[in-house]
Amino acid sequence: MHLTPLFFLSALVLVAYLFEVTAPRTRVPTVLLLLALGIGTRLLLDGVGVKIPDLAKALPMVGTFGLILIVFEGALELQLERDRASMIGRAFLVALLPLAAFVACLAWYLMRSTEADLHAALLNALPFAVISSAVAVPTARAFSRATSEFVVYESSFSDILGVLGFQLVLSTASFGVGTLVQFGGEMLAILALALVGSGLLALLLAKLRHRVKFVPILAFVVLLYSAAKAFHLPALLLVLVFGLALANYRKLRERIGRVLPAAEAVESEVHRFSELVTEATFVVRVTFFVLFGFLVDLESLADTHTLGIAAGIVGLALALRLLQLLAVRMPVLPLLFLAPRGLITVLLVLSIPAAERLALMTDGLTTQVVALSCLAMMAATLGSGSTRSDAQKKSANTSTPTA
């Protein structure tokens, strides 16, 4: 019996889906299972002598597409309401300040230990500062609604701030007032493009009557992202604004006038479109982590020297996060541990130019940081008391019947 690659791909997707649906019960982060699945698949195929073509070049492309979808999916979930302004502000601070402090501390360590210059140290430190919304948000849904909403906003902010910071450092040889002015101008340009693009997206959602409509619209988003990237603009900000504009379309239409299509015509299509984005994000995320696990060097993964550094990186991130949570008077548990690293960390490490990527930053170290941060999150969820479902059951059992 000869099993085709199509068989293995289908089986991997089904196994990954099994991980996804059982994660709320097992409380094991899906990313850990996907990495293990990729490593196990590599060992199995090597054991039976199956030759696999070089897939390393496909990883950055899959990761970039996954990054676009993750940010877009997260933005589609963000409702900008006045009564949430305080919580959104605290989420922004918890995303920004520990990220900046972490980058400063790790960059200082890299400069001292490897004699790297400031530019290279910042590039190598930034990827490990970014919280993965793709990992944190599904786990946070097991807790209270307030915790889940906070993690959605915070991890989305972390994604955006981390990637924008990385792009700023990557495109800048030296830092100064002129650099910040230029970057500010680029952000204004991308915001203007994003508002025009959002109007076009709304028009397409409302007016297209063909049975195939959402895939071309998604392709339009990726096209604009790629065009902005080609002009060295903060392209991810474009995707974020698209998602926010669609998620809050009624408010946007009320503010800029009635030239846009009616809210009712757009909102129903946005709901269907967000479902497609969620499905596509799942497939791409699964593909990326299984592929990354498949390609990781097992010797570097077992390196005890880098394991100590990885533990230090995760410990530093948790310590800074603890201080910030206390400063903004947010509950420490379980929020302290709901800050895993994931796809964006891996993708940004792969995006560091070869000339500036430090020898220390191996795929093994990256995988260790992702795994340790996810294990900390898993320990917190396993050790937590009540979850959202528990709270709902308790509420249902103690509620007073009404006439």
Q: What is the CATH number of the domain that holds 56?
A: 1.20.1530.20
Q: Percentage of residues in the chain with pLDDT exceeding 90?
A: 18
Instruction: Choose among 81, 126, 67, 117: nearest CA to 99.
Output: 126
**Mean pLDDT score, 333-360:** 89
Residue 187 has what DSSP assignment?
H
Instruction: Give the per-residue SS3 of 220-238.
Output: HHHHHHHHHHHCCCCHHHH
The arithmetic mean of pLDDT across residues 373-389, rounded, is 73
At residue 397 the predicted structure's pLDDT band, cuts being 50, 70 and 90, is very low
Contact 331, 384 (CB under 8 A): no
- Write out pLDDT tens, residues 206-220: 877 778 888 888 888
Asked whether residue 44 is assigned to any structural domain, the reply reads yes
**Domain assignment present for 402:** no
Question: What dihedral angle (degrees, nearest 10) is formed by the CA atoms of 244, 246, 247, 253?
Answer: 100
Torsion angle in degrees (nearest 10) through CA of 31, 35, 38, 40: -120
More confident residue, 398 or 376: 376
pLDDT given for residue 398 in this prediction: 35
φ, ψ of residue 124 in degrees (nearest 5):
-80, -20
Identity at 365, one-letter amino acid code: L
Both ends of the chain: CA-CA distance in Å?
66
Residue range 37-45: average pLDDT? 85
pLDDT in tens, 255-299: 776 667 777 778 888 888 888 888 898 888 888 888 888 888 888
pTM: 0.82
Structure tokens at 258: 């009635």
- Residue 1 has a pLDDT of 52
Q: Please, which pLDDT band fits residue 402 given cuts at 50, 70 and 90?
A: very low
Rounded distance, CA 403 to CA 167, Å?
59
* % of residues, the chain, pLDDT over 70: 91
User: Binning pLDDT at 50, 70 and 90, where does residue 357 land?
Assistant: very high
**Which helix (H) or strand (E) is 142 found in, with range?**
none
Token pair of 325 as six digits = 């949570």
- Give the pLDDT mean for 110-116: 89
- pLDDT grade for 363, boundaries at 50, 70 and 90: confident
**DSSP designation for 56:** T
Q: What share of the chain is helix, strand, coil (3-state, %, to 5)?
A: 80, 0, 20
**Residue 257: predicted pLDDT:** 62
Between 120-129, 173-182, 185-194, the lowest mean confidence (pLDDT) is in 173-182
The two structure tokens encoding residue 364:
């093994």
CA atoms of 225 and 67, how far apart (whole Å): 11
393 inside domain? no
Inform me whether the pLDDT recorded for 108 exceeds 90.
Answer: yes
Instruction: Name the band, by pLDDT with cuts 50, 70 and 90, for residue 10.
Output: confident
Q: For residues 369 and 61, which has the higher predicted lDDT (pLDDT)?
A: 369
Measured in degrees and rounded to the nearest 5, phi and psi for residue 217 equal -65, -40
Residue 391 domain flag = no
Residue 355 resides in a domain: yes
> Does the residue 248 lie in any domain?
yes
Residue type, 389: S
User: Tell me, what's the pLDDT at 307?
Assistant: 92
Q: What pLDDT band is residue 392 in, cutting at 50, 70 and 90?
A: very low
Question: Counting every residue, how long is the chain?
Answer: 403
Q: Domain limits at 319?
A: 7-384
pLDDT of 147 above 60:
yes
Nearest to 123 by CA among 322, 300, 354, 380: 354
Exposure string of 182-192, with b = 16+ CB inside 10 Å and e = fewer, is ebeebeeebee
User: Residue 219 CA to chain centroid, in angstroms?
Assistant: 20
> Which of 13-27, 308-322, 379-393 is modeled with the greatest confidence?
308-322
Mean pLDDT of 354-379: 90
Q: Whole-angstrom Cα distance, residue 23 to residue 32?
A: 11
Decide: 317 and 102 in contact? Cβ < 8 Å.
yes
For residues 164-188, give the mean pLDDT. Answer: 75
Q: Could you give the CA distance from residue 317 to residue 121 in angstroms, rounded to a whole number?
A: 17
| Contacts for 345 with CB less than 8 Å, ≥ 6 apart | 127, 128, 130, 132, 366, 369, 370
* Total tally of structural domains belonging to the chain: 1
CB contact at 8 A, 337 and 270:
no
Looking at the domain assignment, is residue 392 inside a domain?
Answer: no
Quick check: is 397 in a domain?
no
Q: What is the pLDDT of residue 316?
A: 95
